[in-house]
């Protein structure tokens, strides 16, 4: 009975002793553990798979083979299942519903993470600052943005660097003009999914606005509303490690931190003056003597 309840609340009680994966049922854990004794082993990296089909799919990581193509945006995938899940971005299908607040999701994993909003469970803790997170992906993002200086993803068009591949993917359409997200009610197309979501809310009344209970301002993302409410309350959870300043968001803290850098990595192309932050050198460039606007 408890196991059945945990499946619906998003709880993952069973942990693998060999890796960080967690499972909602004991059977799921036992099935996963089979990979460590499997005879289906990748000759490239040594990873063990549950069966020959799984091994075939895994090998596509090394070969780069992606035989399944999306008919809407031409993105390609290693498996038909990945394509089916991806197609929900274009169709708007959200088959996973929260039984507490009726919010719907494209992916079951997102529903599991969302359920922790209601349960308050935050099982993933940062080993560097002890901050807790409701899902493992948020913990990984936190480590990349707050505790890591690595910026491994470079835009092939302008050379701009990004900490995550998803951020790079969101940036590239600026150069290519690609608009993979189409409205099913009209002919409008969008570069980003959040632009489509805002369009559906404003023009077609599809979706649910999130309203601030203090000033009644409306938002289309729960994260934006949460930050906005924090500003009303004066909550500043992100503290600079170099000075007493506090900030409402990780982004604001990240923007502030270069102030303390000895090396100023951004240089004005007109006068040669150095700056710690990109937006500062951009603002300076526009007012620099003899500057021209491109």
CATH of the domain at 184: 3.30.160.60
Top-confidence range, 46-50, 65-69, 70-74, 109-113: 65-69
Burial of 4 (0-12, 13-18, 19+ CB in 10 A): exposed
Total domains, the chain: 2
Each residue's pLDDT tens digit, 76-116:
888 888 888 888 888 878 888 888 777 788 888 888 877 87
Whether 172 is covered by a domain: the verdict is yes
Whether 210 is covered by a domain: the verdict is yes
N-terminal to C-terminal alpha carbon distance within the chain: 65
pLDDT at position 215 is 92
Q: What proportion of the chain, given as a percentage, has pLDDT over 70?
A: 86
Whether 120 is covered by a domain: the verdict is no
Each residue's pLDDT tens digit, 172-188:
888 888 888 889 899 99
Whether 231 is covered by a domain: the verdict is yes
pLDDT at position 263 is 56
Residue 8 lies in domain: 1-65
* pLDDT at 39 > cutoff 80: no
Whether 43 is covered by a domain: the verdict is yes
Whether 220 is covered by a domain: the verdict is yes
pTM of the model: 0.38
* pLDDT at 32 > cutoff 80: no
Angle between helices 2-9 and 108-119 (to 10 degrees): 100
Whether 116 is covered by a domain: the verdict is no
Whether 290 is covered by a domain: the verdict is no
- Mean pLDDT score of the chain, rounded to an integer? 78
* pLDDT at 157 > cutoff 80: yes
User: Do residues 60 and 158 share a domain?
Assistant: no
Please identify which residue in the block is written with the tokens 């038909």: 80
């Amino acid at each position: 009975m408890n196991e059945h309840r945990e499946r619906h609340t998003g709880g993952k009680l069973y942990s693998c002793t060999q890796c960080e994966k967690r499972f909602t049922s004991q059977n799921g854990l036992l099935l996963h553990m089979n990979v460590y004794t499997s005879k289906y082993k990748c000759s490239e990296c040594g990873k063990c798979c549950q069966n020959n089909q799984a091994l075939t799919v895994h090998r596509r990581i090394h070969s780069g083979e992606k035989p399944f193509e999306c008919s809407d945006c031409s993105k390609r995938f290693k498996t038909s299942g990945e394509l089916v899940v991806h197609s929900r971005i274009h169709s708007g299908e959200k088959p996973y519903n929260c039984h507490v607040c009726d919010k719907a999701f494209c992916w079951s994993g997102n529903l599991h993470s969302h359920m922790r909003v209601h349960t308050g469970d935050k099982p993933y803790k940062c080993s560097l600052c002890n901050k807790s997170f409701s899902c493992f992906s948020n913990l990984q993002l936190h480590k990349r943005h707050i505790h890591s200086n690595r910026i491994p993803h470079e835009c092939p068009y302008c050379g701009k660097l990004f900490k995550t591949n998803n951020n790079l993917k969101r940036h590239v359409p600026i150069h290519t003009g690609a608009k993979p997200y189409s409205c099913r009610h009209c002919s409008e197309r969008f570069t980003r999914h959040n632009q489509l979501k805002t369009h559906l809310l404003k023009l077609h009344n599809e979706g649910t606005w999130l309203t601030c209970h203090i000033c009644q301002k409306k938002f289309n993302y729960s994260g934006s509303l949460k930050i906005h409410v924090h500003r009303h309350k004066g909550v500043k959870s992100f503290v600079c490690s170099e000075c007493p300043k506090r900030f409402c968001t990780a982004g604001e803290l990240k923007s502030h931190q270069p102030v303390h850098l000895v090396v100023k990595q951004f240089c004005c192309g007109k006068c040669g003056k150095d700056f710690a932050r990109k937006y500062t050198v951009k603002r300076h460039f526009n007012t620099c003597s003899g500057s021209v606007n491109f």
